[in-house]
Structure 1
Amino acid sequence: MRETFDVCIVGAGPGGLAALSAMTEPYSLDQLSRDQWNRVAHVDLKHRKDRIPPKVCVVDPGGWLSTWHARFKALQIQWLRSPVGAHPDIFDMHSLLAFATRTERCDELLDSGAVNADLRSLPEAGQGLWNLPSNELFEQFCGDLAARLPHSFIHGEVTSVEGDDGDFTVFLKDGQPILAQTVILALGVPGPAAFPGALAPVPEHLMFHSDFECGARLQELSGKKRVLVIGGGLTAVQVAQLALKKDCEVVLLSRRPLTTRHFDIGERWFDRRRANVHHYEFFQKPMEERLEHIKATRGGGSVPPFYMKEIREAEASGRLVCKQGEVQLSHVWAEAVDVLIDGQVNRFDLIVNACGHRADGRHLPLVRELLRTAPTEVVGGFPVLSQDLQWGDFKQLFVVGALASLQVGPDAGNLMGLRRAVQIVANALSLRDVHRQRLRTEAHRGSPASTPDQRALFLGTPTIDAGKVDQADVT
C-alpha cells in the first residue's frame, strides 16, 4: 500500500518552508498577545510532546531553497531586502532574531535606516525587527528550521495534480504518484522572463536574462567587457554592481529614473497600525482593479537607499553611466551589439536584461495542466482563488506565493505576504482548532475578565501586541 500524506507541498523555496511550518506547528505566537503568551502559550508547551503532527511531504527537484541560494550566490547578494521579522518560521516572528542572538551573529543584522520617526514608536522597531539579515544568516536559519520540522522530502518535478479533495494524486515527471489529502502549491515566480522587444534579434551569446538558469551566465561578466544592463529595479542595480566588481565598463539603462524605497512595496504595508486598512481596501476592489493596484503599489521596481548610495558613488567616479530611455537596436555584429542611446550609437560586448518577469502563471506547466483539468478564471496572468486561497471548486488544493497575488495583495510573493498566506491555509484546514480550544480553556481559567486580547483569541483573529521570545525556549 502506498503511503498517503496529509499534506503535499509543491515547492521547496521560502513559500514551501513557510507552508511546512504552518502545517506542523500547533499555533502561531504571532496571533497571541504578550499576556496570552505568558498565561496560555507556555502552558500548551507540555502538550506539544503528545501532539501528532500532520504527515507532510515536500516535493521539489532541488533541495531546500536551492533556487534562492543559486540566485543570491550568482549576484553575490549580501543582505536581504526583507526585514528580519519576515521569514518562514510561522511559529514566531522573532525567531530569526533569536537565532542570530543565540548563534552570536547579531553583526549580520543591518540597520538600513528604514525606521523613520513615524515607525520608531512601534515596539518591533526597538526590538530590531526592521533590520535586514544577511543572506548567509537567513539561509542557515532556514536550514535549521527545515531540519527541525517533521516532513518527508521527495526530489522530483510535479507535472499534474489529479483527484478530489481528500484524495489527490500528485504525479511526478518520472511517473511516480504521491497520494495526499491536501495539496499546497508554492511555485515561486509566476511567469516568463521579460525582454525588450527591440532586442529580439540579438543572439543568445550576446544577451541573456539575469535570471537565466538562476544567474549562471552572470559568470560571463569579466575581462574588461563593455556591458549594458537594462532594468530599473534592484536586480538591475545588483547586476551593474557585480559587473563593476569584475572590472567591466557598465551602462545601466532604465526606462525611467531610478526610484529609492527601502522595500519593494511601501512601509505602510508592513506597519501593523495601517496594514489592515490597506488590505481591506485592496479586497474591496474587483479583480481587474486589484491587478492595477498591485502594479501601482510595486511601481515597476525600486532600489533601497544603501544600494542607491553605492550606485551614485560609482556614477560620480566615472565607473558607471546611468541613462534613462527606451533601448533601440542599431546593429548586431559577430561579437558585439550596437545600441542607440540618447541619439548616439554605443557598442557593447554583452547585454544583460534585468527587466524581471512577466506575470503569467500559465507559463508554468503545472498551472497550465491545472487550468486544463480544473479551469478557473485568470486575470492578468494570475488565477482567481477563493478568499482562503483555494483553487477553483477544491477545498483542499491551495496556492501561496506570487500566484496568489489577487487574494493576498502586492506582497504575496514576499516573505511577509507568504507568512499571511500560509496562516490563511492553516486556518482553512482547521489544523489549529483543537489547540485554539485548549487556549480558550486556559484563558478562561487565567482570568474571568474579557479583555480585547481575549476576545480576539476567542474569535480566532490575530492581535497586534508583540513581544520577544527565544526560539530555544519554546521548541
Structure 2
Amino acid sequence: MAKYTEDIAEDVFVDPVKMSANLTPASDIHDVIIVGAGPCGLAVAARLHEQTPSAVFTDEEHQRYHWIKKHTGKMNLVQAGRCKKNGVRAEKWNRGQRTCPYEDGGAVSARRGSTDSASSVPSLSSDSSTSSAASISTLVLDGTGDQWLQRWNNAFRTLEIKQLRSPMFFHVDPGDRDGMLAYTQEVGREKDLWEISGCVGKEMSKHKKKKRRQSGKPQTLGVEIDERDRKDYFSPSTDLFADYCASIIERYGLNEAGQILKQEVTDISYDYLPGNLEVVAPNSKVFTLTTSTGQKFYSRAVVLAVGAGGAGIQKIFPWKPSNETEGADACCHSMEIRTFPSPNVRSKIQQREQTNVVVVGGGLSSAQIVDMAVRKGVTKVWFLMRSEYKVKHFDIGLQWMGKYKNWEKAAFWSADTDEERLEMMKTARNGGSITPRYTRIVKQHVANHRASIHTRTEVTSHSYNPETRTWALTTDPPIPNLPPIDYIYFATGARSDVREMPILSNINDQFPIEVKEGFPCLTDDLMWREDVPLYITGRLGGLRLGPGAPNLEGARLGAERIAWSLEEILEKNREVGDQCEGFCGLGNRYASLAGEGDDYGEE
C-alpha cells in the first residue's frame, strides 16, 4: 500500500478499504504541475532550480517594477533609525521569521498571522543553504511526448528550419543572460551563428527621430542598437539551440525518468478534495488535472505553459474542409504538417508532372514553407497574403530589443489600463513579418519563376475536385491564369482566447476574471487570481509580459515572475519579508552559517 502523509495523527483511524478507494497518496499531490514541455515550461522548471538567477533587468529596475509594485500598501517600511545598536545592525535571517529585536513586533506578528492562516502547506526550505527547489515536487504533462521541447524540435525538423529568428540573449537559461554565447564559445561552435545584419548601428529615419523627440526619448547616438551590443545580435542554428537547452536540462537534473508524462490535459479544476481526500491536504484547495485518458493528477499550483498548437489553442483557417470529399486531405494548417510535401504532391513530383501549391499567410512560417516547397521540387508556389509584405528582423520592433527597450517596457508596465497595453502590443507586433534573409530567398525563387507573391489578396471562392484531387480558386484581386492547385498550406497562425479553451472551462466558470480580446487580465505575478494559483505564461501572459511574451525572452521573463510568486504560495507560513530567501535568489544564502552570538553585523 502506498505511503501516506506522515502528518496524519496516530489516533485518527482510517479504514484501509476506504483509504484505498478514496484517498490519494500524499506523494501524488505535487507542489507544481507544469502543463506543456515547450520553451516556456522548460524556462519555469529551470528557474525553480536556480538559486542565483541572472537579473533580466538591472537590480534597480527589478526591484522598482516588481517588488515595490507587488508590495505597495501591504508592508510597513522600517526606517533606518529604528533598528540601531552601535550603528545600524543588519537584521538576522532566521528560519521562522525575520525580525529586529529592537523593533515592536506587533506589526510583524500581524503580518505573519495573516499569511500563515491562508495555507497549511509546510515550508519547503531547508536549514542549509541548498536550493529549496530540490524539495519541490514537480510534474510536467505534455500531449506530444515525454521529452522536453519535443513539439518544438519536431516542428523545426519537419520544416527543415536551420536557424532561429531570435538573437543570442533570447533563451531559457535563468542563470546567465549571456549563457548561450558563453556555451557557443565553450564548445567551439561559432560557425553555428548567423549575424543578424542591418540592425546594429542602424541610423534612424528623420520621421523616427521626430517621433522619439516627441516622446521624450534620448537622441544621443541616433541608433536603435548600440554597436557595443553587436555580439548579441547573432542567431543560433537550431542544432546549437537544441544542444544548449539539453545542457540546461542536464545542469538542473530535469531529465529524470517520470518527470515528464505524455498526457494531454483536458480539464483543470480547483477545489477542496472530496471526502476523505482532505486528510491528505486539510483545509487546502487543490488543483485536479484530468487528461484525455481519464487519469487525474493533483497539485497545489499549476503553470499553464502552452504555446502555439498547444492544448486549447485554436488554429485559424480561412476555411476548413470537413472530409476528404471536400478536400480535407489536400490542405492543412502549418502547425499540422507531419510530412512534406503531401503524398499526392510527392507522387506527382516523382512522375515529373507539374505541381502547383498555394501558401496563405504573411509571417516567417509561410516564407519557410514556400522555400521548402521549391526545394522539394514543386513546379510553382503561389504566395498569398492579406496585407502588405512586411520585412522585419524580429516579430517585435527593434525598440523593444535595443538600448531603449527598458524605456519601452517601463511605459508598457506603467500604462493605466489593459486596453492601453493591448494597443501597445498590437503596434509592437503589427502582424506577421518576414526576415530579410528569407525575403532574399523568396525573391530569388520569384526571379527563377518558381514562386509568385500576391499581396493584399484573399481567396473569395474555392471548390475541390475529388477525381483530379485539385482545387479551383478565385481570388480578389484575380490572379491571371491561376492553374488547378494540388495542395494548400494555411500559415495563418492561431487564436488564443482563454474563454474558448476547453481546458479552462471550469476555471472560467468558478473563478471568472476580466479578459481583453482573449488575453486574461492576470495578476502581476501571472496568476489567474490572488486566490487561484494558476499561472499562465507565454503568449497568453501578454498583458503582463509585453509584446515579447510569445518569444523566448517572454518565456524567461515569465519564469522569473512565477518563481517569485511560487515561493510565497508554497511557503505561506513565512513572514512576508522572508518570502524570497529560497529559489527567488534573494536573501543571504549563508545566513544559516551564522550563530546567534555572531555580532559581525554590528560592525
TM tier relative to shorter chain: 0.7 to 0.9
Q: Is the counterpart of residue 74 in structure 1 residue 158 in structure 2?
A: yes
Aligned to 2:518: 381
Segment of structure 1 superposing worse, 47-56 or 226-235 = 47-56
Q: Is 1:283–1:407's contact at 8 Å kept on the other side of the alignment? A: no
Instruction: Indicate how the Cα distance of structure 1 residues 207 and 374 shifts in structure 2: closer, same or farther if over 3 A, else same.
Output: same
What SS class does the counterpart of residue 69 from structure 1 fall into?
helix
1:361 CA displacement: 3.1
Q: Is 1:383–1:403's contact at 8 Å kept on the other side of the alignment?
A: yes
Are 1:16 and 2:123 an aligned pair? no
Alignment-derived partner of residue 205 in structure 1: 329
What is the TM-score of this pair, normalised by structure 2?
A: 0.65
- CA-to-aligned-CA distance 1:9-43 (integer Å, 9 cap, x gap): 11100000000111111131235879xxxxxxxxx
Question: Which of residues 457, 474, 482 in structure 2 aligns to 1:340?
Answer: 474
Equivalence for 2:226: 121
Q: Do the aligned partners of residues 337 and 359 (structure 1) sit closer, same or farther apart at CA in structure 2, a change above 3 Å counting?
A: same
Give the equivalent residue in structure 1 for 2:359.
Answer: 229
Flag the 1:251–1:384 CA change in 2: closer, same or farther, 3 A: same
**1:132 partner SS:** strand
> In the TM superposition, what whole-angstrom CA distance separates every residue of 1:279-298 from its partner, at most 9, and x where no partner exists?
42355152334333322321
User: Secondary structure, in 3 states, of the residue corresponding to 1:436?
Assistant: coil
Q: Quick one: which of 278, 290, 302 aligns to 1:183?
A: 302
Deviations 1:165-221 (A, max 9, x none): 774333333343333222211111263111225989952122211112xx2153315
* CA 33–285 in structure 1, closer or farther in 2 if over 3 Å, else same: closer
Contact 2:526 2:541 in 1 (8 A): yes
Q: Which of 68, 73, 92 is equivalent to 2:176?
A: 92
Q: Kindly name which structure, 1 or 2, has the bigger radius of gyration based on alpha carbons.
A: 2
Q: 1:172 to 1:92 in 2, by over 3 A?
A: same
User: What are the residue-to-residue correspondences of 1:386-425 with 2, within 5 Å?
Assistant: 386-394=523-531, 396-425=533-562
Q: Which range moved further: 140-149 or 85-94?
A: 140-149
| Contact 2:35 2:303 (C-alpha < 8 Å) held by counterparts | yes
TM-score by length of 1: 0.82
Q: Measure the CA separation in 1 of the matches of 2:326 and 2:52.
A: 53
The answer to whether the 8 A contact 1:169-1:179 is kept is: yes
The 5 Å alignment of 1:37-436 reads 53=134, 54-61=136-143, 62=145, 63-117=147-201, 118=223, 121=226, 123=228, 125-126=229-230, 128-151=231-254, 152-158=259-265, 159-163=267-271, 167-189=286-308, 191-197=313-319, 203-212=327-336, 215-220=337-342, 222=346, 223=349, 224-248=354-378, 249-281=380-412, 283-324=414-455, 325-329=457-461, 331-334=463-466, 335-341=469-475, 342-343=477-478, 344=480, 346=482, 347-394=484-531, 396-430=533-567, 432-434=580-582, 435-436=585-586
Match for residue 456 of structure 1? none
Identity of aligned residues (%): 27
**Preserved CA contact (<8 Å) 1:58 1:153:** yes
Gaps of 5+ in 2: 5-24, 60-127, 202-222, 273-283, 568-578, 592-600
Q: Equivalent residue for 1:25?
A: 50
As a proportion of its length, which structure holds more helix? 1
DSSP-derived class of the 1:8 partner: strand
Determine the structure 1 residue equivalent to 2:574: none
Aligned residue pairs total 427
Q: Secondary structure at the match of 1:312?
A: helix
Kindly indicate whether the alpha-carbon contact (under 8 Å) linking 1:83 and 1:130 is maintained by their aligned counterparts in 2.
yes
State the secondary structure of the residue aligned to 2:458.
coil
Would the alpha carbon gap of residues 282 and 52 (structure 1) be closer, same or farther in structure 2, given more than 3 Å must change? closer
Displacement after TM superposition at 1:304 (Å): 0.7
Question: Compared with structure 1, are the counterparts of its residues 176 and 154 closer, same or farther at alpha carbon in structure 2 (3 Å cutoff)?
Answer: same
What amino acid sits opposite 1:186 in the alignment? A
Q: How far 1:385 moved relative to its partner?
A: 0.9
**Distance in 2 separating the partners of 1:25 and 1:417:** 18
Asked whether the equivalents of residues 199 and 329 of structure 1 are also in contact (C-alpha less than 8 Å), the reply is no
The CA distance in 2 between the partners of 1:232 and 1:299, in whole Å, is 11
Tell me what 2:101 maps to: none
Distance 2:404 2:546 in 1: 17
The alignment partner of 1:327 has SS state of strand
Structure 1 unaligned regions, length at least 5: 35-46, 442-447, 449-475
Amino acid at match of 1:243: A
For residues 503 and 148 of structure 2, the distance between their equivalents in structure 1, rounded to whole angstroms, comes to 20
* One-letter amino acid of the structure 2 residue matched with residue 139 of structure 1: A
State the AA in 2 paired with 1:138: F
- The 3 A distance-change label for structure 1 pair 129 and 302 is same
> Which has the larger displacement, 343-352 or 101-110?
343-352
The change in CA–CA distance for 1:55 and 1:340 in structure 2 (over 3 A counts) is same
Q: 1:330 and 1:5, CA in 2 relative to 1: closer, same or farther beyond 3 A?
A: closer
Rounded to whole Å, the distance in 2 between the matches of 1:280 and 1:233 is 27
What CA distance in whole angstroms lies between the structure 2 residues aligned with 1:229 and 1:111? 28
Cα distance between partner residues in 1 of 2:519 and 2:462: 36
Deviations 1:403-433 (A, max 9, x none): 1112211211111111111111112234643
Aligned to 2:13: none
Letter paired with 2:188: E
Could you list the per-position Cα deviations for residues 88-124 of structure 1 after superposition, in whole angstroms to 9, with x for gaps in the alignment? 111112222222222221211110215421255365x
Relative distance call for 1:218 and 1:368 in structure 2 (3 A) is farther
2 CA distance for matches of 1:345 and 1:339? 11
1:198 and 1:329 in contact (8 A); partners too: no
User: Where does residue 438 of structure 1 map in the other structure?
Assistant: 588
Which has the higher mean CA deviation after the structures are superposed, 176-185 or 396-405? 176-185
Quote the Cα distance in structure 2 between the aligned partners of 1:196 and 1:275.
38
Query: Corresponding residue for 1:473?
Result: none
Quickly say closer, same or farther: Cα 1:167–1:113, change in 2 above 3 A: same
Q: 1:288 to 1:405 in 2, by over 3 A?
A: same
